[in-house]
Amino acid sequence: MQLHIDDQKVNFPDVLILGAAKSGTTSMAFYLKQHPDVYMPRKEPGFFAFHGLDRKSIPSGIRDRQIVEVDEYARMYQQVGYTQKICDASVAQFTMHKQTIANAEKYYGDRIGDVRAFIILRHPVDRAFSQYLMFLKNGLEDLSFEEAIKPENVAARIGRQLGFDYLGGSMYADRVRDLKAAFPRLTVYLTSDLHDDDFLESFLNHCDLRTDVDIDTKTRLNPSGVPKNKGMIKALQQRSKFKEALKRVLPDKVQFRLTAMKSALIEKSVERAAIDPELKVSLTREIFHEDISELERIIERDLSLWKE
């Protein structure tokens, strides 16, 4: 959509995928990226989460990749097609939800009601453990999960990556309540919804997009696990100017095939791991039970399976 900012017309997102991390946001973004009526030049720009903050206050591990200036953010969407909708998918927008709301209200104003916003949520312990496995896979984590969730270790590392607060990132109720109040057209999904036969149609309808398109929903994206081949993973995950330049010139269909191939290679390079069942039960009861009960009331869905 077009907004007036500093007496100029600029393009801003019509669709915001807010989070939560390791819950299916990458899949949702991948589905939309394939849609011919969607323009999404990159994932995780982080503008709404970090705009207005001193860059030094952004976790060091992601600092260089975040777009914090409004001019730079608007330039990213200059090439949008006349009939295309713009999508921003940044999971930091959920973690930093108060900053996200303040920036969205600042720039959208009374047009915030036109924004299609999405949250996707996973069982809080499963989400936390999956985040841990992703950091383990990417060489960021060297502690056991039990050690990594200790408050003193979280405090010592949160300045490097927001995701190191594994349990804190799974506290949903307050964030969902506030975001629901800020975005009138907010839709909340659960990760399990992605497996429903009618999910894609529902998702596209909520985005006001046509559904008669061919979209790959089978590829398992961003797989986490214990690394078996660290060298392969590092090579596949490593960012470079060459890779970024290649993305800008390769046709979308080629990029989708490369994404699928990359995910398949990563999946072969990791070993799936499951959290200790007793630890999952104790964390659910002691840390998340009350938050889950409050979330049930907010989204009006039965989450008794989560509490079990």
Residues 35-88 have pLDDT tens digits of 999 999 988 999 999 999 988 888 888 888 899 999 999 999 998 988 999 999
Residues 6+ positions from 10 with CB-CB distance below 8 Å:
2, 3, 4, 70, 74, 77
User: For the segment 185-203, what is each residue's pLDDT rounded down to a tens digit?
Assistant: 999 999 999 999 899 999 9
Enter the tokens of residue 143: 């502690």
> In the prediction, which pLDDT does 80 show?
92
Residues 6+ positions from 295 with CB-CB distance below 8 Å:
121, 172, 173, 176, 303
Residues 6+ positions from 140 with CB-CB distance below 8 Å:
61, 160, 161
Residues 6+ positions from 36 with CB-CB distance below 8 Å:
213
User: For the segment 218-244, what is each residue's pLDDT rounded down to a tens digit?
Assistant: 877 666 666 655 665 555 556 666 556
Confidence of residue 98 (pLDDT cuts 50, 70, 90): very high
Assess contact for 20 and 172: CB atoms under 8 A: yes
> In the prediction, which pLDDT does 160 show?
87
- pLDDT at 154 > cutoff 60: yes
Q: By percentage, how much of the chain surpasses pLDDT 90?
A: 68
Mean pLDDT of 163-189: 97
Q: Which amino acid is at 240?
A: S
Assess contact for 117 and 16: CB atoms under 8 A: yes
- Picking from 264, 252, 266, the residue whose alpha carbon sits closest to that of residue 32 is 252
CA dihedral 251, 207, 216, 49 (to 10 degrees): 70
Enter the tokens of residue 152: 């003193």
Q: Which CATH architecture has domain 2-225+272-307?
A: 3-Layer(aba) Sandwich (3.40)
- pLDDT at 298 > cutoff 60: yes
- pLDDT at 248 > cutoff 80: no
Residues 6+ positions from 113 with CB-CB distance below 8 Å:
184, 185
What are phi and psi for residue 125, nearest 5 degrees? -75, -40
Confidence of residue 252 (pLDDT cuts 50, 70, 90): low
**Domain residue spans of the chain:** 2-225+272-307
- When the pLDDT of each residue in the chain is averaged and rounded to a whole number, the result is 88
- pLDDT at 208 > cutoff 60: yes
